[in-house]
Amino acid sequence: MKGRDRTVAEVLVAVAERAGCELYLTLFTIEESGWAECVGWNDFEIGEVMDWLAELHTWCSPDSHKLDFGPLPFEKERLCPPQVWNRIERQEPDFMEATGNEGASFERFYRGATLVLWPRGRTPEVLAGAPLDFALAYLETRLRDWGAAGRPEAERSALVSLFTAVIERWPELLARHSNQDRPLERMARLLKQLADPEVVAGFLERLAECGYRS
């Protein structure tokens, strides 16, 4: 970030810390596609959006450390200020003429940098609604920071809350998981690092309730 954007970011970092919020710098990507309507000779306009994807990725901490959180989907209503969406909609789409049995179509792609902010107390809610890769990567980062700080007991309860949120939603998170890695083994390694018998017992109970799946 440069100039005015950098100044705004520096102010937000201080305000977010004081307000007890998580703050990150990320890139965001928005992709739209659908069918288009021919309105003249070689002239098209958007007919209907059929597929829409918006996600945050390439995460950095306020102190410029890269974070391996992976992509996090978001809804356009989360953009602030809302007028940002108007700028995105002005992005000219790419139109494709009808070919064979397929009608005319369009694609639109937009990418930019943004600051992501949420109250720290709502982090369990964020993890419970995030893709499993994101949730596990976030837990890994928090555990690493906790270990580097000497595993202070005062921070254990916050970590337990995060693990509990992920464990409670484990079946849903696993159902949406599409990568080829083994999330159960990854979670087991994290639980070993946390070394909390009650959390481990809670995870085993959850596995028993929903059926074992690696």
112-135: buried (b, 16+ CB within 10 Å) or exposed (e) per residue?
eeebbeeeeeebbebbbebbbbbb
30 burial level (CB within 10 Å; 0-12, 13-18, 19+):
buried
Q: For tokens 């391996």, what's the residue? A: 68
Contact, 55 vs 74, CB < 8 A? Answer: yes
Q: Tell me, what's the pLDDT at 195?
A: 94
User: For each of the chain's 214 residues, which pLDDT tens digit applies?
Assistant: 566 767 777 888 888 889 999 999 999 998 888 988 877 777 788 888 888 889 999 999 888 889 999 899 988 777 777 677 777 777 778 888 877 777 888 888 888 888 899 999 999 999 998 999 999 999 999 999 999 999 999 999 999 999 999 999 998 888 877 665 688 999 999 999 999 999 999 999 999 887 765 5
Q: To 10 degrees, what angle do helices 197-210 and 183-194 make?
A: 160
Contact, 126 vs 106, CB < 8 A? Answer: no
- DSSP assigned state of 61: -
Q: Tell me, what's the pLDDT at 2?
A: 64
Which two tokens mark 44? 């098209």
Structural domain boundaries in the chain = 1-119, 130-214
Q: Tell me, what's the pLDDT at 160?
A: 96
Contact, 141 vs 69, CB < 8 A? Answer: yes
- Whole-angstrom CA distances from 115 to 26, 45, 125, 179 are 6, 32, 19, 27
Q: Tell me, what's the pLDDT at 158?
A: 92
